[in-house]
């Protein structure tokens, strides 16, 4: 008969310490964690690329849906807000203005929505392999970034069609998208941890983002809204919330008409500004808005964009890392 299993006489914790054994599921230090993520950068990029290719394999049009989806959304918004509700007030080149808003907001929206489900979607992978769990939210944001690159190519064509001529401002798209990507990574890491423990969160987030879409100027120019009777901080909140900041940075980079017509771009003139905001004027001349006082300057937008990106990225990394040993547990 086989020998009966022998149980050590000393406590298991002491035995593990004696032989230098460590808990395989223990959380590493933050520095070690970031180093492990960097070591797996090729896995993260490869995983993201594979997911991006496989997303539309069953659809007949395949990767074309990366472009068609935001274009169809923009078409619906143009019909409802541009034609029916006349929200193109204050915007000379409304189609280009709308397309930029839709594509940029979609990048953040999809990053957060997919991030909220990533830990539960990949539960088997998490339980089967040992790797930094932040690799998954990072990979999913990279999927959306790759789609954003396709969208930017489409936006270039749209801008040229509607008369937005290239200039050195277009190079500002690089830091603008980089800052948005950092923000999206931080936000995805935050909702990934929350969504991994609260399944209902992934059902709630799309509704929150749907509301957010109407508060960040995707379909309208915030400064052209008839909200002069409200406190000034309301307009600043609508202008400086994260999605609104990144949308504005892309519009400033792409559209010379947007830069020309933005408040503060011409000397202040109370009469012309009041004429623009007078509801009796209907579709006021967008050029008049440039004579109003600026709610925020371009410098304010860049400072806010950098602040949102860095804060969310750092908070997201630390917040996700703190629960590293809990992911995958039933």
Q: How does DSSP assign 235-271, residue by residue? A: HHHHHHSHHHHHHHHHHHHH-HHHHHHSTTSS---HH
**C-alpha span between 9 and 15 (Å, rounded):** 9
Residue 300 has pLDDT above 80, yes or no: yes
Higher pLDDT pick, 36 / 85: 36
CA dihedral 240, 70, 56, 183 (to 10 degrees): -10
Please state, in angstroms and rounded to a whole number, the distance separating the CA atoms of residues 162 and 97: 10
Q: What is the pLDDT of residue 175?
A: 97
CB 320 within 8 A of CB 261: no
Please answer whether residues 259 and 252 qualify as being in contact, where contact means their C-beta atoms are separated by less than 8 angstroms: yes
The span from the CA of 98 to the CA of 107, in Å, is: 15
Residue 127 makes CB contacts below 8 A (sequence gap 6+) with 328
Q: CB-based contacts of 193: which residues, under 8 Å, 6+ apart? A: 119, 319, 320, 323
Evaluate whether 265 touches 298 at the Cβ level (below 8 Å): no
Rounded distance between C-alpha atoms, residue 135 and residue 38, angstroms: 10
Residue 303's pLDDT band, with cuts at 50, 70 and 90, is very high
**Higher per-residue confidence, 69 vs 251:** 251
pTM value is 0.86
Q: Does the pLDDT of residue 199 top 70, yes or no?
A: yes
Averaged pLDDT for residues 111-118? 93
């Amino acid at each position: 008969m086989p020998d009966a299993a022998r149980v050590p006489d000393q406590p298991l914790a002491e035995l593990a310490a004696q032989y230098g054994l460590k808990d395989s599921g223990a959380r590493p230090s933050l520095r070690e964690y970031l180093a492990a993520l960097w070591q797996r950068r090729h896995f993260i990029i490869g995983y993201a690329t594979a997911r991006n290719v496989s997303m539309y394999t069953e659809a007949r049009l395949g990767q074309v849906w990366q472009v068609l989806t935001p274009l169809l959304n923009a078409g619906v918004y143009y019909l409802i807000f541009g034609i029916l509700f006349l929200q193109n007030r204050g915007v000379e080149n409304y189609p280009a203005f709308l397309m930029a808003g839709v594509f940029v907001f979609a990048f953040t929206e999809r990053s957060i929505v997919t991030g909220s489900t990533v830990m539960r979607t990949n539960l088997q992978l998490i339980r089967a392999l040992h790797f930094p769990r932040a690799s998954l939210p990072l990979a999913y944001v990279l999927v959306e970034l790759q789609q954003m690159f396709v969208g930017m190519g489409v936006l270039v064509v749209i801008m040229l069609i509607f008369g937005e001529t290239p200039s050195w401002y277009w190079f500002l798209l690089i830091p603008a998208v980089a800052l948005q990507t950092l923000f999206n990574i931080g936000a995805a890491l935050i909702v990934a941890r929350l969504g991994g423990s609260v399944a209902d969160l992934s059902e709630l987030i799309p509704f929150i983002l749907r509301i957010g879409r109407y508060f960040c100027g995707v379909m309208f120019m915030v400064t052209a809204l008839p909200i002069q009777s409200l406190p000034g901080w309301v307009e600043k909140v609508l202008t400086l919330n994260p999605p609104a900041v990144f949308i504005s940075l892309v519009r400033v980079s792409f559209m010379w008409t947007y830069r020309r017509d933005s408040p503060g771009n011409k000397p202040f003139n109370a009469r012309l500004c009041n004429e623009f905001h007078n509801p009796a004027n209907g579709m006021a001349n967008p050029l008049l808005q440039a004579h109003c006082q600026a709610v925020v300057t371009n410098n304010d937008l860049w400072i806010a964009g950098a602040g949102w990106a860095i804060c969310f990225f750092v908070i997201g990394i630390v917040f996700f890392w703190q629960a590293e040993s809990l992911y995958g547990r039933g």
